[in-house]
Structure formats: structure tokens, C-alpha cells
Structure 1
Amino acid sequence: MRLLFLACLSPKTGNCTTAERIRDHIESAGHVCVLRDTRDFSSASEVTLLMSQDQEPFDAALAIHLYKGGRLLLDAGVPFGVVFGGTDINEDVKDEHKRSVMKKVLHKARFAVAFTEEMKQKAKTHLDCDTMKIYVQAQGIETRTSSDFSWTDFLHTSGVCVDRVDDLHVFLLVCGLRKVKDPLYLLNAFSEWHAQNPLVILIIIGPKIDPALSSEVKECVKRCSGVFLAAERNQEELHAAMRKAFAVVNSSVSEGMSAAILEAMDLCVPVLARNIPGNAAVVRHGHNGLLFSSPQEFVLLSKRLLRDKELQENLKSNGKHYVTERHDSATERRTYQQLVEKLQ
């Protein structure tokens, strides 16, 4: 079977990584899966044209995000499935037009995949859909780290100049620079804390997705002592940096399921995450991570984590256990391979 797979493919983002992983699952079952960026198409008619013009016809299709991707498949003329993104349920349902389109997508789709049971129930509430066709499958997590990582080299290549590198406690905020990730949320509070304790630093790392916000972050970082902006890295280098960090941070205003949080847990790194539904579905406060509701609470929890070695070890071991138990990549692979059979 030959499938067209539509997703948002900004390089080195969670969406891109998830799409590439799912494509691998599908192709490992012997199918051909052609991955295309939703930004390449301005309307469903362009996808329909692709279907009709391609020398090798597509038998089926798949999309991540019901609105961004699914809407492009409504007139494709082939059976398709969809995967919910956090934006679908947390943001797009607030828009009447987008909500109407997503209802049509769910009605026509052979199946839909939600990362959590909470996401499935939100779809039932907001999209008035048949939940029998919605399957819950958490993201599968696999981490690989480069072996020659050092903070000295990492900071130097990022243009970060700090003293006593080996004594630093690095808090790593992994996010694409766009509004929903709210990369400016902690800057002032963290900078004030750094003034009291120069050994704590915050590094923001990720691709520059929103040009205007990226410029704003760059200027704000210049004014905030102890906060640095690092260039994006490939997956192995990023995972190596995460493994060496004191903690990984998430400050998003909306999440479906944060891959960075799960990757940090898999790497046995403590997680501090903003207390929003998508994060709270993964992070159990005080057990496998810490949840904060304000910049000030983030600082208080971070100070507690620094001085409490037992808490550090508990978060690491419980986080690793959670990912191993709930986010097995082999289980995810079997699920998508079985679901694709519904498109034949």
C-alpha cells in the first residue's frame, strides 16, 4: 500500500520527530509512506491534484493534526486516518470554523489516534464524534545520545560565555520558538534567581519557528543574566545535552504530549513542567516530575530540587519507570501497523 502522510515538518521539532517515527513504523510493515509538509499545500484541491497527477497513485493517507493536516484530505478520494495534535483539542476547538472542519474530518476518517484518554474525552465533548473510532496510543519514546558531549564545547559553540562550567546547574528549556511554547515565561524570575546563585543557568534550545518571537527572545535573553539561547541541535546532541542537564523545563501554555518531557524522563533527568492539562496528564507532581503554576513557584521548586537529593533520585527513577511502562516504542509500532490495515 502507498500512503501519503501529511504533517507539520519544521526541522528538529516534536511534530517532525513524531511524523518520522510513525512513518518508520508504517514502512517497517512493508508499505510505502510518502511524508509531506502541510505547509506545501494551501488547499485540499492541491492534495487532490497530487493524488491524480502522481505517476504512482496513493492508496490511502494519514495526517497529524485534524485541522492543519486532516482538512487537506477531505476531498482526496482515498481512505485516511488522522492523529490528534495538542493544538486540535486545546486551541483549534475554540474557533467555530476550525471546529466545524475537524468534525467533518473525524466523520470521514477511518480512525483517529489520541495520545491520552483525556484527549479522547475532550474530542467527545468538543467535536461530538464517534469515540469508537478514536484509539488511545501514547507516543513511543527512544533516546540516543552522542558519546563525546561536554558542556564546555556545547556552550562555546552556542556563544555562551560562563565561568566554572563543571559547577553549573543547567536548566534546559527545550522548545521551538513559537508563542504556544511561551519561552519568555520564566526569564525574569530565573534571572533574579541567578543573581542570587550564579551557578544556576537557563538555556533555551530549539528551532526558530516564529521569526518575530525569535527576535524578541534573542533581545530579552541579552537583558537577562543567567539565561542563554542556544542553537538547535540534532537529536543525538540534544539528548546528550538533556542527559547532562540538572533539569529539563517545559513552560508551554498548551501541549498535546511533550516529547521533550518524556525524553528527559527516559534519560533519567528531573522534569519541571508548567501545570497545564497536557503536562499534568504525564507528570505526577512530586512523583515523576514537578508542576509549577507561576515563575515564582518554578524558582521555589527548583531551589527545593537542588537541595533535596532524595527527591532528585525519586524523580529520575519514577520518570524512567513511567516512560518504560507507558511509552514503549514497540507497542506504538504495533498500533500504527494495525491501524493502517483499516485503510485498505
Structure 2
Amino acid sequence: MKLLFLACLSPKTGNHTTAERIRSHIESAGHTCELRDAAAFQSPAEVANLISRHPPFEGALAIHLHRAGSLLLDIHVPFGVIFGGTDINEDVKVEQKRVVMEQVLLKARFAVAFTDKLKEEAELFLLSQSSKIYVQPQGIQTEVSEKFHWAEFLRSSGVSSEPVDELHVFLLVCGLRRVKDPLYLVEMFSEWHRENPLNVLVVIGPRIDPVFTVEVEAVVKKAAGVFLAQERSQRELHAAMKRCFTVVNSSVSEGMSAAILEAMDLGVPVLARDIPGNAAIVHHEFTGLLYSSPQEFVHQSQRLLSDHDLRDRLVRNGKRYVEEHHCLKRERETYQRLVDTLRCA
């Protein structure tokens, strides 16, 4: 079966990684799956034209009902969609977008939500299509680069403190766009760093929003103890995560943060902003720590620094949680089974 797969494919983002992983699941079942960037298309008509070319596509898939799924409304082959966090957390608040998302959901053969909470929200805000919405958490697999050099990474990020092994590196993994809110902690962290110079915050991720990136760079340049790192390959990023003190999330909105789950899998504690998408996978004081203000972030960080039993418990429970709930094999089987439903007339 030949499938077209649309997603937002900014390099080295969670969306891109998720799309590539799902594509590999589909192709491992013997299908052909052509992954395309939704941003490359201006209208549903362009996608419909691509679908009909010889040899024609026999089905389609999209991540994000509005940004990518809306491009499938004119096609005449069956398709499935995967909810992104922006769909339910942001896009449903805009009436015009919500109407389009309802049209996509009505026409789709199936829809996938990463969590039960996302499914419940979809049923609440969109026309009820409960029977076609499946819950499948992201499958997680981490791989660490053996050639990664921690000291070199820190120096290239602007961290000059020595010795590096004494530093407590808080690693904020996010693409530079407003919804990730990378500046949320900067002022408070900078004040804390002045009191405790061994604590540093490193923000790492692709420059997605050029205008916002300039703003972030200007603020970070003036902030003590806060640094910007260049994006790395996934294997290098996982190596950096494994060496850091804790992985941080400060997003305003999340569907399911792969970085949080990857940190858990790597045996690294997580400090995540208390929003629905994060609270769905981070159980406070069990698999990680949640905070709802910069001040509370510092408080929870201090607990993590001083309470070794707490840190060990979070690491142990986080690893077990990912193994039990984010199995790559189960994810592969789910998508292969759902794609098979696109064969039916």
C-alpha cells in the first residue's frame, strides 16, 4: 500500500522525530510511506493533485488535525490522523480552526491521541467521534552517542566554569518558539545562579521561529548562568541529557513531550511545568517533579539537589513508567493495525 504522510518537519523537532518513527513502523509492515512537510503545501488542492499522480497514493496519514489534516479534505482516498498537543490545547479555541478540525475528524477513518486526557478533550470540544479515536502513547527508544564529549559540549555552549564535573546542568530541551516558553525561568534562574554558581541552565533545540529566536538570544546574552546550545543529532542530544543533572520542560502547551520521556528512559530526573500534557506523564514526586511558577521551580530544584533518596526514586520510577507505558513494539503494532483499516472500502 502506498501512503502519503503529512507532518510539520522542522529539523530536529519532536514532531519530526515522531513522524519518522511512525513512518518506520508503517514501512516495516511492507507499505510504502512517503513523508512530506505540511508546510510545503499551500492548499488541499495541491495535496489532492499529488495523491492522484501515477502511481497514485492509496491512503494518507497526518499529524496535527489543523496544520496537516486540513490539507487532506479534498482527497478521495481513506486517511487517518494523529492529534498534536496544539490541536486540543490551542487550535480548538479558535472557532474557524475548530470547524476545520471537526471536518477532518468526521472524514478520517481513524484518529490517534497520545493520552486518555487528549481523547477526552477531543470528545468535549469537537463533534463526538469517540469510536474512531484510539489512544496510543508515544513509543520511546533512546540511543546515546559514544563519541560525545561533555566538556566540549558545555564550552561550545558558552559554559566556562571549571571543573565541569562539579556543575549542576539543568538542560531545557525545546525548539525556540513561544509555545515552549524558554524564557519563563531565565530571570529567576539567573538570580539563583548568582547565589549558587554551580547551577547552570542550558537551552538546547532548533531555531524554529526566527523572530522569537532573536528575542531569546538577546535575553540569554544578559542572563547570568543561562546559555544557548546549538541543536544536536538525536544521539548527541541523548548523550547530553544523560550527563546533565536534570531535564527541564517549561512549555505553555504540550501534547506529549518526547524529551521528558527520553529523560526518564535515560535515567535522568525531570522538572516539568505543571500543564495538562506534562501532568499526564509526570506524576509529581513519583516519576518527576512539577512546578507552576519560577519560584516553585527553584524550590523543587533545591529538593532534587539535597534529597538523594528523592532523586533515586524519581529515576527508578520514571524508567519503569516508560518501559510499561511507552513500549516501541506496542506502538508499532497499533499503527500497523490502524493502517490496515485504510485498505477497507
TM-score, reference length from structure 1: 0.99
Superposed displacement of residue 157, structure 1: 2.8
Structure 2 partner of 1:15: 15
Structure 1 partner of 2:109: 110
Structure 1 partner of 2:95: 96
Write out aligned runs for 1:1-344 (5 A). Answer: 1-52=1-52, 54-344=53-343
Superposed displacement of residue 187, structure 1: 0.1
Any runs of at least 4 consecutive aligned residues in structure 1 with deviations exceeding 4 A, and if so which? none
Superposed displacement of residue 267, structure 1: 0.3
Superposed displacement of residue 270, structure 1: 0.4
Q: Secondary structure at the match of 1:82?
A: strand
Superposed displacement of residue 148, structure 1: 2.9
- 2-structure distance, mates of 1:224, 1:103: 44
Q: Secondary structure at the match of 2:190?
A: helix
Number of aligned positions between the proteins: 343
- 2-structure distance, mates of 1:89, 1:137: 16
Amino acid at match of 1:324: E
- 2-structure distance, mates of 1:303, 1:155: 22
Amino acid at match of 1:46: E
Superposed displacement of residue 209, structure 1: 0.3
Q: Secondary structure at the match of 2:5?
A: strand
Q: Secondary structure at the match of 2:86?
A: helix
Amino acid at match of 2:22: I
- 1-structure distance, mates of 2:260, 2:95: 31
Is the 1:289–1:319 Cα contact (8 Å) retained in structure 2? yes
Percent identity of equivalent pairs: 65
Deviates more, 1:211-220 or 1:8-17: 211-220
Superposed displacement of residue 138, structure 1: 0.1
Q: Secondary structure at the match of 1:209?
A: coil
Is the 1:106–1:129 Cα contact (8 Å) retained in structure 2? no
- 1-structure distance, mates of 2:280, 2:148: 32
Superposed displacement of residue 289, structure 1: 0.3
TM-score, reference length from structure 2: 0.98
Is the 1:107–1:129 Cα contact (8 Å) retained in structure 2? no
Amino acid at match of 1:82: V
Deviations 1:208-242 (A, max 9, x none): 00011111111111111100000000000000000
Gaps of 5+ in 1: none
Q: Secondary structure at the match of 1:129?
A: coil
